[in-house]
Chains A and B, each alone.
Chain A
Amino acid sequence: MADLTATDTQWIGVGTLDDIPPLGARVVRTPDGDIALFRTAGDQVFALRDRCPHKGGPLSQGIVYDHKVACPLHNWAIDLESGVAVAPDEGCAGRHPVRVEGREIYLSLAVLAAAAD
């Protein structure tokens, strides 16, 4: 979230926190495919491409816990902050910048590189 500034990103308002259930997810549909927005128990919001690095499962349909989501198809765990699959699995779902102001959620379509870790 913090690693982008308003100058290199166009922020798009997509809704409010109340539109996503706690420990839930919603999808933003774009011409380049779906983006999944996850809400954690602590009201943080993360955005990942809605395609599991394993076989393309829709991550938005998974169970959200802590800062992770379990893919609904074969139960891989994907880290929400980095988009990286939790070891021993390998792979990365593309990340998008998100900002929450008050209860409003803003999304950027810029794709972030895989977090170094």
Chain B
Amino acid sequence: MRKKLVLVGNGMAGVRTLEELLKLAPEAYDITVFGAEPHGNYNRILLSPVLAGEKRLDEIMLNDEAWYTANGITLYKGKTVTEIDRARRRVIADDGTTASYDRLLLATGSLPIVLPIPGHDLPGVVTFREIRDVDRMLEVALTHRHAVVIGGGLLGLEAANGLMKQGMEVTVVHLMETLMERQLDVPAANMLRRSLEEKGLRFVMPAQTEAILGNGRVSAVRLADGTEIDADLVVMAVGIRPNIHLARSTGIYCERGIVVNDTLQTYDPRIYALGECVQHRNTTYGLVAPLFEQGKVCANHLAGLGYWRYEGSKTSTKLKVTGIDLFSAGDFIGDDSTEEIYFKDIAGGVYKKLALRDDRITGAVLYGDTADGSWYFQLMREGADISDLREHLLFGQRHLGDAGHGDINHAVVMTDDQEVCGCNGVCKGDIIKAITSKGLFTLEEVRAHTKASSSCGSCTGLVEQILAHTLGGEYSAPGVKPLCKCTDFTHDQVRKAIREHQLQSLAAVMHFLEWKSPDGCPACRPALNFYLLVAWPGEYHDEGQSRYINERVHANIQKDGSYSVVPRVFGGITNPAQLRALADVAERFQVPEVKFTGGSRIDLLGVKKEQLPAIWADLAAAGFVSGHAYGKAVRTVKCCVGSDWCRFGTQDSTTMAIAIEKMTWGSWTPHKFKMGVSGCPRNCAEATIKDLGVVAVESGWEIHVGGNGGVKVRATDLLCHVTTMDEVLEYTGAFLQLYREEARYLERTAPWLERVGISYLKERLVADAAGRRAYYERFRASQVFAQQDPWGERGCQGVDRHEFIPLKVLA
């Protein structure tokens, strides 16, 4: 027989725990839920937007009754449990309903504090906690004008804002000198007060409420100094108190809250408790993020797995008043041992303050610009040493150098392990993974799968940015961005069709996918040619007419129609014989200019097209092959001198660079692919702005990927650390092959990486050793066909002669 679990408190923490439990052990319990409120479980946080008229009640339901039925849960709503009979292990509700339990879960939340002043029980005096309270406020707002909110904290301000939006004149009476004194320092609180005043709120503070006046219903509020303020509605928002009444009456040990240990058990081990009603390690919480963390742990233990512990949470706060951006976390006031750095632009409405101790963030207050809140919060929770970032810290993550590609938005610069949704503890990487692995397209789907942005909703914009960025052109209205105007299919769909339907020529692809133009266009033909080449390395017959001129004739066209010739010099290591051969060629063909390139190779510029085969024949005779400076192909491997010569060198970077270039030359890639090898972290070969960069360290080699010089500079992300040259070669080949197989044509590694995420690459290439080897094998197999020197073929074997000689010369 299944065990019985009873939940008392049909609110956010309790029901979330049931959801987690059902994921882990759907069959473990017969579940019964008692809830004092007459509803299913709803998102209490969103009562504020409901009050402000920005959301409807039906939009904030989290679990409707169908959910309980579908999961076989007995729900007693509108029933308050009044007694726990621990000896007989059953609970009894106010209407006499009983239920027995093997495990009991208490999640009774908290109760709003009601000031015991005269008149507190008059009709028209409400708190702000439940749907019922919101209904009452909305009712009064329809017919009355004056509202007083007692309390200038988070809840009070959200209530005041909502009532103002409903057309009331609202006065906030606050006991302290400044608003939200537990979350904000003085300058931020003053800015907040000013902007709320501009919106139309009135503040009376510091001021103590002495009595609520009224005859039959509330009519005014009297302050300690005798002032009276008209009021048809009084909202008390002066704080909450854990609801421990039930637990205490059965003798479960309580202090301020129900005392629980790290497994969320009370002093009666059959009885668990979590949410706002508990006290854990001497702390009580009033925000959902920690409660959801508790829920995960509690479910783990209820499911009998028993390996997680709850060790407390650090929390951050945002205010849900539309048009006001405010973020606060940690201890931002500090003491003698802390330092402060801040940025203040009162006129511009931006204020930022960070409190630091020993180069670590201990607290943050942001007002006006909160985009970096989650970044600071992460640095704070990780206890990260910020001494390197210090100068730029206040300007935010976007100013750290790596500007990112394409649309620059905040989501792009966030790292995968950075938290997007503070309420549910969802990181950027989780969201990207869900989008890509489950094929999600909409915000609702992401909410359903990850819970991100499903609670307070303040990260909705970020989640949308991540969606847009992850799906690229596939996000938003038409759903998908076609490869070019000749087709409605996307790059990815075309690639899939090529593989699944064994399409082996451009004509076959265009026919099968019903291309709209007779022979494609300059955008799709090179893309298709590349996709076919990667899919069928041995079989596919490269279609020269579908390549851009540079790749068709294996040289870079110049503005005057002449060409440049850049022979491959492996690793950039040359010798007198090679240099002499190059000099001879330059002289023999009267090459107008000889230049060292930005990739540290030698460029022969201004060569006539007809001269190309003859030059190549001479270069081939001297042992040179094409440098592919003209192609969407593997380019150069730049390197420094390394441990052979350099007093700082830790490894032999030149031997490594030559080995890499020998293995990879000739490979065609979605966009050009450049590499670098540095002999130590001084990084003289600039390896960290290459598509793949290898940096030697004492203990081996670091492999970095996704760097880019060019239009938008991006530094690489670290893929992994390895010890041997064979490993470097294996990772390099595997990375190249993954890029070749999955990136879209003309997508360089930097934007590709930002699209799929470094954790995805780590998953495929680092965590999955067998997968990595398979990519590497496929790369090596395709190189057998790719490493046939196109210059030699044209210079010595007469391939494509028609490209280089006129059809006819007329005198």
- Which residues of A are at the interface with B, using a C-beta cutoff of 8 A? 12, 14-15, 19-24, 26-31, 34, 37, 41, 55-58, 61-66, 70, 72-73, 75, 109
Contacts and interface: CB of A to CB of B under 8 A. Distances in A.
Given A19-B807, A37-B807, A62-B549, A75 B802 contact: no
Interface string B534-548: 000000000011101
A12 B518 contact: no
Contacts of B518: 41, 66
B517 A21 contact: no
22 contacts: A19-B802, A20-B807, A21-B545, A22-B545, A23-B546, A24-B544, A26-B802, A27-B806, A28-B806, A28-B808, A28-B810, A29-B810, A30-B810, A31-B811, A37-B807, A58-B557, A58-B561, A63-B545, A65-B517, A65-B519, A66-B518, A109-B810
Interface stretch (B180-188, B218-226, B520-528): B520-528
Contacts of A65: 517, 519-522, 525
B1 interface: no
A57 B810 contact: no
Contact of A73 (B520, B557, B802): B557
A62 B522 CA distance: 9
Contacts of A31: 810-811
Interface of B: 517-522, 525-526, 544-546, 548-549, 553, 557, 559, 561, 802, 806-811
Centre residue among B544, B559, B806 by max chain A CB count within 10 A: B806
B809 A29 contact: yes
Contacts of B553: 61
B520 to A, nearest CB: 6
A28 B807 contact: yes
Contacts of A12: 810
A61 B526 CA distance: 15
A31 B810 CA distance: 7
Q: Is the interface of B mostly helix, strand, loop or mixed?
A: loop
Contacts of B519: 23, 41, 65-66
B691 to A, nearest CB: 25
A15 B545 contact: no
Contacts of A14: 807-808
B631 to A, nearest CB: 14
Contacts of B546: 23, 63
A41 B546 CA distance: 13
> Which of B517, B518, B521, B561 counts the most A-chain CB atoms under 10 A from its CB?
B561
A61 B559 CA distance: 12
A30 B811 CA distance: 6
Contacts of A63: 522, 525-526, 545-546, 548-549
B557 A61 contact: yes
A27 B553 CA distance: 15
Contacts of A109: 810
Nearest to B520: A65
A27 B803 CA distance: 9
B613 to A, nearest CB: 16
A24 B545 contact: yes
A63 B526 CA distance: 10
Contacts of A64: 545
The CB with the most chain A CB atoms within 10 A, among B521, B545, B559, B811, is that of B545
B332 to A, nearest CB: 55
A22 B546 CA distance: 11
Nearest to B550: A72
B800 to A, nearest CB: 9
Contacts of A34: 806
A2 B319 CA distance: 77
CB-CB nearest 5 A-B residue pairs: A26-B807, A70-B522, A61-B549, A63-B522, A72-B549
Given A29-B806, A57-B561, A75-B522, 15 more contacts: A19-B807, A22-B545, A23-B519, A26-B806, A26-B807, A27-B807, A28-B806, A28-B809, A28-B810, A31-B810, A34-B806, A58-B561, A65-B519, A65-B521, A72-B557
A19 B520 CA distance: 23
Contact of A23 (B526, B545, B548): B545
A83 B796 CA distance: 37
A34 B805 CA distance: 12
A23 B557 CA distance: 20
Contacts of B810: 12, 28-31, 109
Contacts of A22: 545
A15 B802 CA distance: 12
A27 to B, nearest CB: 5
A71 to B, nearest CB: 10
Contacts of B561: 56-58, 61
Contacts of A24: 544-545, 802
A20 B800 CA distance: 11
A63 B550 CA distance: 11
A64 B549 CA distance: 11
Contacts of B802: 19-21, 24, 26
Identify the interface centre among B546, B549, B809: most chain A CB within 10 Å of its CB: B549
A110 B520 CA distance: 32
A99 to B, nearest CB: 15
Contacts of A28: 806-810
B770 to A, nearest CB: 41
Contacts of B807: 14-15, 19-20, 26-28, 37
Nearest to B558: A73
Contacts of B521: 65-66, 70
A22 B545 CA distance: 8
Contacts of A29: 806, 808-810
B420 to A, nearest CB: 39
Nearest to A30: B810
A20 B546 CA distance: 15
A20 B210 CA distance: 98
A21 B547 CA distance: 13
B806 A55 contact: no
A65 B809 CA distance: 26
A54 to B, nearest CB: 11
A37 B809 CA distance: 13
B630 to A, nearest CB: 12
Contacts of B544: 21, 24
Contacts of A62: 522, 549
A20 B545 CA distance: 11
Contacts of B522: 62-63, 65, 70, 75
A70 B522 CA distance: 7
Contacts of B808: 14-15, 28-29
A117 B545 CA distance: 29
A59 B120 CA distance: 88
A30 B518 CA distance: 33
A25 to B, nearest CB: 9
Nearest to B518: A66
A37 B810 CA distance: 14
B805 to A, nearest CB: 9
B461 to A, nearest CB: 36
Contacts of A26: 802, 806-807
B510 to A, nearest CB: 11
Nearest to A109: B810
A88 to B, nearest CB: 15
A106 to B, nearest CB: 11
- Pick the most buried of A23, A24, A62, A64: most chain B CB atoms within 10 A of its CB: A23
B548 A66 contact: no
Contacts of A30: 810
A12 B366 CA distance: 79
A27 B548 CA distance: 17
Contacts of B559: 55, 73
A61 B809 CA distance: 17
A63 B546 CA distance: 7
Nearest to A26: B807
A61 B525 CA distance: 15
A22 B549 CA distance: 15
